[in-house]
Structure 1
Amino acid sequence: MQQHTDQYYIDKILQGDTQAFEVLVERYQSYIYTIVVRMVRVKEEAEEIAQDTFIKAYQSIASFRGESKFSSWLYSIAYRKALDSIRKNKKYKAAELNEEITEGSIEIIENALTYIEDKEKKELIQKCILKLPEQEAAIITLFYFEEQSIKEIAKITQLTEDNIKVKLYRSRKKMFTLLQHSEVFKMHN
């Protein structure tokens, strides 16, 4: 089966082919869910927000002008819906970590991680991401897992590129602190 571009399906939707949207949903549903669940941290809530994201995208598809990638436009909708949900439910605030990280401790962590199985590494990193503040978790996910550029992340989050760079730097430091204190790290060190 031939793989078409997002724009192909968007054009089909605008011409009245409602089933074309199903392809876009299938293409992006796991990405949207991943970003949202790392922000709101509640599976059921994340599923609802992801669903709302696609409803909003379908209703607003005519406003997509192609100035950015469709995926970025979609992530932007999801990001804003997740932030709205977080604002409504203030109880999901993550604690800030301000521990100082040295180059030596980063090297120790990286060495310990080489002994951990890939699956275990992935689970450990995902648990650490969930301990970051919501906005930082989203930025880390977009940058490292969704491979979005700093420019695209700035469009999605409506933050400046410099602000994204600072948040990425701080988030990486916090991730290393979390990794350093994880049980898996301690077992392999």
Structure 2
Amino acid sequence: MLTRLTFTMRTKDDKIIIKQVLKGDVAAFSVLIDRYRHMVYTLAFQITKNKSDAEEVAQDAFLKAFQALASFEGRASFSTWIYQITFHQAISKIRQNKKHNLSYKENISNENSPLTDDNITGQLLEREDRKRFLNEALSRLKGEESFILILYYYEDLNIEEIAKITGYSATNVKVRLFRARLKLHNELKILLKLETNSLL
């Protein structure tokens, strides 16, 4: 059960919590970790395609954010800033390991995800099947492609915000997003065809 103090902390604006941390209340940073750890891990996993690597990237991202908190200027949201750190940490991890694990077992999808395409799934797929197919299709995309899709659809970030996180130009983000959607569409069609054939 949450105490009144804990509840108050968890409902505070990110910038207020950051000010508290910078004033010496180091424990307050745990509120930010609780608030963003799921999405940070999800984004890290989309790039690394590996659970242990994603966990390490998430930990490193929060540690780096904590160490550099004094440099956070507040012109962008804390979420944009931590996602930017996560992106670069994950890319660095891939370059270090030079490996990709295409097995995606985590369920990060929303049952009403805008990524699902009724023209693809039709009446053949129930809600859980759509989740499973979407997760599998995302796992088949390149890390940066699925990362951008997650930011755009699940986090509802706009092109400019994604550009800031990734370091790409807004035009580049638009092109990458368009290509990623096409690839996702194709992967969903392939998976559906394989599923249909297995039932025959």
- TM-score bracket for the superposition, by shorter chain length: 0.7 to 0.9
Structure 1 gap ranges (5+): 95-108
Alignment of 1:76-91 (within 5 A): 76-91=84-99
Asked if 1:175 corresponds to 2:184, the answer is: yes
Asked if 1:161 corresponds to 2:133, the answer is: no
Distance 1:165 1:57 in 2: 28
Distance 1:11 1:118 in 2: 43
Alpha carbons 1:39, 1:134 under 8 Å: kept:
yes
Q: TM-score, normalised by structure 2?
A: 0.81
Alpha carbons 2:41, 2:54 under 8 Å: kept:
yes
Q: TM-score, normalised by structure 1?
A: 0.86
State the one-letter code of the partner of 2:139: L
Ranked by relative contact order (alpha carbons within 8 Å, sequence separation 6 or more), the top structure is 1
Alignment of 1:31-180 (within 5 A): 31-92=39-100, 110-115=118-123, 116-180=125-189
Distance 1:7 1:124 in 2: 38
Distance 2:50 2:90 in 1: 11
Shift of 1:184: 7.1
Alpha carbons 2:121, 2:192 under 8 Å: kept:
no
Identify which of 31, 37, 45 aligns with 1:29.
37
State which drifts further: 17-26 or 110-119: 110-119
Structure 1 runs, 4 residues or longer, greater than 3 Å off: 183-186
Residues 186 and 123 from structure 1, CA distance in 2 versus in 1: closer, same or farther, beyond 3 angstroms?
Answer: closer
Shift of 1:114: 4.1
User: How many pairs align?
Assistant: 175
Alpha carbons 2:50, 2:100 under 8 Å: kept:
no
* Cα RMSD, aligned residues only: 2.0
Percentage identity across paired residues of the two chains: 36
Alpha carbons 2:48, 2:101 under 8 Å: kept:
no
State which drifts further: 176-185 or 145-154: 176-185
Distance 1:117 1:138 in 2: 25
Cα deviations across residues 14-36 of structure 1 (Å, max 9, x unaligned)?
Answer: 00001110000000000000001
Residues 184 and 60 from structure 1, CA distance in 2 versus in 1: closer, same or farther, beyond 3 angstroms?
Answer: farther
